[in-house]
Structure 1
């Protein structure tokens, strides 16, 4: 099976590539829509600032790729910043429009909970995923549910039906896994999340192979 990694100049491409290869898939890293659309599924990675990433997608002409992904129902997985780009807008360094696949706005952690207690920003480290439902690509919940986060911004105001799992940080319920049709997002780094991350990637890939990841 062939997995395409979208190369728009901002992403942890090597770690994602190696993780997917270890699961037995061929990996195509490309900025060309034609090559990407020939793959069985796509991954949108991302590290850095939201506005820079959106500019890169626009400059490379890759922004239009996502309309094709939705139209063809090709499975897509957004990771970290790649997940945030799937939302309508972000407040990072101004107000910026995203890809608009998911309803919601990306906001910064305040650094203080409702009681006035401070917590560290960025949110960096291991947190327990709490599942609200079982997505169609996941056969059963992982026994080990700790995953690795590194981010200062998180999704808010999203549709509850699109939330698959969250992690608690400060007094915030941080969306950890989201899904809408053929599009899935993971705010954490599954490729760096040990046993749980490998399991989640493996389950997503298996579902793609069986053609059930887009129902």
Structure 2
């Protein structure tokens, strides 16, 4: 089993689309920071906070206190709590530092589950926004797992994770059964061991 992450630049986003992207990133950041503050509050009150409990508390008050979160995909806030839970898990097992509040403009992004978007050629449909053009189509076929929209140097990108049954690139025998591969804009793929594989351009699609 192989999971590929194909990063594609969003083509000439409109003012409306960029506004949506910024709102979704802001919603994700706000939910994470709210969750971190609530986690600290519950812990100091002698409670045992979890990502599920924090998310439940947020959902209970968001219709009245934070109605603007409904302007973007529900995943923007939901995934923030999952990420917070993962951050605390890493902290408790010693593999990470104590979670910090997120700052605007630093690694701004928001997540989309596979039921929250659809692809068609070189475009993608996002909830409450509509179709968005991409600079290219996904280079391979498989089961789409998720996507993440992010910004870098005033440009917007979407990274789409796809699960393949067979590898479109040669994987060495010492690789594990599940391998993470990042398909970037310049190179075909970067394996989990750091190896870069160059691809010929243009590359429209890789068969299973």
Which range, TM-score by smaller chain? under 0.3
TM-score (norm 1): 0.27
More strand by share: 1
TM-score (norm 2): 0.27
Bigger-Rg structure (1/2): 2
